[in-house]
A = this chain, B = another copy of it.
Amino acid sequence: MPFELTILGSSSALPTSDRYPTAQVLNVLGRFFLIDCGEGTQIQIRRQKIGFGRISHIFISHLHGDHFYGLIGLLSTFNLLGLKNDIHIYSPSELKTLLQPQLDHLKAGLQFNIIFHPLNFKKPQQIYADKKVEVLSFPLKHSCPVCGFLFKEVQKQPNIKKEYIKQYQIPIAEIKNIKAGADFKTASGEIIPNSRLTIAPPKPRSYAFCTDTVFLPEISSIIKNVDVLYHEATFTEKLKEWAQRTMHSTAREAAEMARLANAGKLLIGHFSARYKTVSEFEEEARAVFKKTEAAADGKTYKIER
């Protein structure tokens, strides 16, 4: 089952010729979550041949323009295409106020419902959950309220070894209990321990998105053991002072966070347009955390255990 991330934009406030502002599509088991929506996101979605109709959950980390200016165009395109699905937007509550005049102005009116879910900037909070996937928001620290997001598969129950079902004649009614951790008592009174009957389920895969933030060691416990961590790296240590002044992170700090969180892999992005290439970001980060890669627009990354 797919769990993969497509980078639509990896630039910071100023887009460049080859990097759009922040936007990503995360496909978790067939659910297409849009994370941030900088200007041009709809163009990038089209280029990636991702069906617009698959997107109904949009996560906006904060209200700086490079993270949401593409939203009105995307919603307008949904409307023009005649899409009717409810659209859920998880964002700072003020977004609704900012977009309202333009939403009201849409030709022929809006043909679908938009449900705004205000983010909690005080503490971590589950903001989405279905049977297989859950999403957590958690506060980051920047010059305006901002949240990171943790997307993870729901922990599956263990599987029962098929040969034992037959051998011990386990009734169907007992399967649920064993999956939930119970031992099994056979007809002859023998106790078969749960550990013998079951196969541990695969570890749930997870992806964390941390953009526009100072280095914040305390979030490492929230994203502990995440398979892929995206962390902003607007600057390198060379411009540390700029990073501090603008409340952004350096590549070294992003790597430090990946190390603290024991991430499987680190993707860095949100690069300042001041830098001509991203190799110096990668070098700086890899000195601290080897499995680092600079995000590239249009590239898809598998989220693997």
The one of B20, B40, B63, B73 that contacts A65, using a Cβ cutoff of 8 Å: B73
Q: Mark A64-99, 1 if CB is under 8 A from B, else 0.
A: 110001101100110011000000000000100110
The one of B39, B102, B105, B107 that contacts A43, using a Cβ cutoff of 8 Å: B39
Whether B69 lies near A46 (C-beta < 8 A) is: no
Query: Is A222 part of the binding interface, using a Cβ–Cβ cutoff of 8 Å?
Result: no
Kindly list chain B residues whose C-beta atoms are within 8 Å of the C-beta of A47: 17
The one of B69, B80, B81, B105 that contacts A63, using a Cβ cutoff of 8 Å: B105
Query: Is A135 part of the binding interface, using a Cβ–Cβ cutoff of 8 Å?
Result: no
Task: Look across to chain B and name the residue whose beta carbon is closest to the beta carbon of A101.
Answer: B98
Kindly list chain B residues whose C-beta atoms are within 8 Å of the C-beta of A77: 13-14
Kindly list chain B residues whose C-beta atoms are within 8 Å of the C-beta of A63: 105
Whether A64 lies near B107 (C-beta < 8 A) is: yes
Whether A102 lies near B98 (C-beta < 8 A) is: yes
Task: Look across to chain B and name the residue whose beta carbon is closest to the beta carbon of A76.
Answer: B65
Say whether, besides A13-B80, A40-B40, A65-B73, A144 and B107 are in contact (CB < 8 Å): yes
Shortest beta-carbon distance from A216 to chain B in Å:
20
Using a Cβ–Cβ cut-off of 8 Å, how many residues does chain A contribute to the interface with B? 34
Whether B46 lies near A43 (C-beta < 8 A) is: no
Whether A15 lies near B46 (C-beta < 8 A) is: yes
Kindly list chain B residues whose C-beta atoms are within 8 Å of the C-beta of A14: 77, 80-81
Shortest beta-carbon distance from A272 to chain B in Å:
11
Kindly list chain B residues whose C-beta atoms are within 8 Å of the C-beta of A46: 15-17
The one of B43, B94, B101 that contacts A15, using a Cβ cutoff of 8 Å: B43
Shortest beta-carbon distance from A42 to chain B in Å:
7
Please, could you name 16 A-B residue pairs with CB atoms under 8 Å apart, sorted by A? A13-B80, A15-B42, A15-B43, A15-B46, A16-B46, A39-B40, A39-B42, A39-B73, A40-B43, A65-B72, A65-B73, A65-B102, A69-B72, A69-B73, A98-B101, A98-B102
